[in-house]
Structure 1
Amino acid sequence: MLQAVLTVLGAGAYLSPSDGTAAFFTHAGNAPVGQRWETPTELLDALYRVFTRFDLDPCALQKSRTRVKARVHFTEDGGLALPWHGTVFVNPPYGRGLAAWVAKARREVEERRARTVVALLPARPDAAYWHDHVAARAVVYFLRGRLRFSGSEPSAPFPSALAVWGATSDELIGLDKALPEAWRAG
């Protein structure tokens, strides 16, 4: 019962040592609950200045309610199974399956199914998936401050980044201009 209530609230239970309590946001961005963080409109507008429109959003919340301008939308249940194509924007669920989405993004570009993939991710350069699929393989834009995701009152309890695989030099120049507050690595 308690777990059901916590899930509805987007909280999620976790264990802490008996001699203390863990910080409130210890598991933010990695928990199996509260995984959906809807992309801020301002960030999408900046990306549209560079890409105009995406060919694919592989993990739209709902096909009828997506906010990402893309020719094709998959809901997240199909996004990992189906091949990607063209220029892709992905804001994956931030739960335990996040590593699979990041691996898929890298693989789709390396295997030439997708031309470019832009992924909005929690900035977790300490995570194994980051070392395996992002570091030295993608251009990363670390976003300044904490994003205020659409549909959420407070700012995110974690930093965010855009990982970009397969972008042309012109697209990177465009991203540099569209994201003047971001720090580019790679």
Structure 2
Amino acid sequence: MARSFNTNTDNSAEWLTPPEILRALGPFDLDPAAPVVRPWDMAARHYTKLDDGMAQPWEGRVWLNPPYGRETFHWLARLAAHGSGLALIFARTETQGFHEQIWAKAHAIFFFRGRLRFHRVSGERGGTANAPSCLVAYSPEDSSRLYRAQKERALTGALINLR
């Protein structure tokens, strides 16, 4: 099964989280949707599409940059059930999945100012994302990390606490 992680104006299949976001919010115990090839680690442990991260056990604090498209909200449902971690997704606030898996379940949402530039699997920066992005927190601890990163100006945007 082919998976895409982030699409942007370069229309490539896999896009990596900018490392400055991970530094601002980490460390993380698990990335269940990691690219097979990556120039840096997103977490202490990784599952790739070869491991089928949805079928594996999730433990600890999770970093999730899920496959984008129809699968995105299945991954978010799993993260919400797990109860500890952050997800980086497009800010498609009007969708049914956003209402069911984020507005109804998340502790906080951070909306980035401007559009992100993700990285290619080679590590070089790619083009600008084709939609705005947000970070979704599923625990009080993760909400606190978003607040600290915003306060320290490691992330710029707006934080909304939901719970």
Any idea what SS the aligned residue of 2:151 has?
helix
- Matched residue count: 147
Any idea what SS the aligned residue of 2:33 has?
strand
Match of 1:140 in 2: 109
Aligned with 1:131 (options 99, 114, 127): 99
> Is 1:156 the equivalent of 2:129?
yes
Q: How many percent identity over aligned positions?
A: 36
| Contact 1:57/1:72, CA 8 A, preserved across alignment | yes
> Is 1:81 the equivalent of 2:52?
no
| Contact 1:35/1:94, CA 8 A, preserved across alignment | no
Inter-CA distance 104–66: structure 2 relative to 1 (3 Å threshold): farther
Match of 1:44 in 2: 22
| Amino acid corresponding to residue 156 of structure 2 in structure 1 | E
| Contact 1:120/1:160, CA 8 A, preserved across alignment | yes
| Amino acid corresponding to residue 73 of structure 1 in structure 2 | H
- CA RMSD across the alignment: 2.5
> Is 1:185 the equivalent of 2:154?
no
| Contact 2:18/2:117, CA 8 A, preserved across alignment | yes
Between the aligned partners of 2:39 and 2:127, the Cα distance in structure 1 is 22
Any idea what SS the aligned residue of 1:46 has?
helix
Q: Deviations over 1:89-133 (max 9, x none)?
A: 010111221121111111111xxxxxx210000111111111001
Q: 1:175, CA displacement in angstroms?
A: 3.2
Matches within 5 A, 1:65-80: 65=38, 67-76=40-49, 77-80=51-54
| Contact 1:57/1:73, CA 8 A, preserved across alignment | yes
Any idea what SS the aligned residue of 1:80 has?
helix
Any idea what SS the aligned residue of 1:141 has?
strand
Between the aligned partners of 1:66 and 1:166, the Cα distance in structure 2 is 28
Match of 1:4 in 2: none
| Contact 1:119/1:162, CA 8 A, preserved across alignment | yes
Between the aligned partners of 2:39 and 2:99, the Cα distance in structure 1 is 30
Between the aligned partners of 2:147 and 2:127, the Cα distance in structure 1 is 31
Greater helix content: 1
Any idea what SS the aligned residue of 2:76 has?
helix
Any idea what SS the aligned residue of 1:70 has?
coil
Between the aligned partners of 1:82 and 1:136, the Cα distance in structure 2 is 25
Any idea what SS the aligned residue of 2:134 has?
strand
Q: 1:140, CA displacement in angstroms?
A: 0.3
Larger relative contact order (C-alpha < 8 A, sep ≥ 6)? 2
| Amino acid corresponding to residue 135 of structure 1 in structure 2 | W
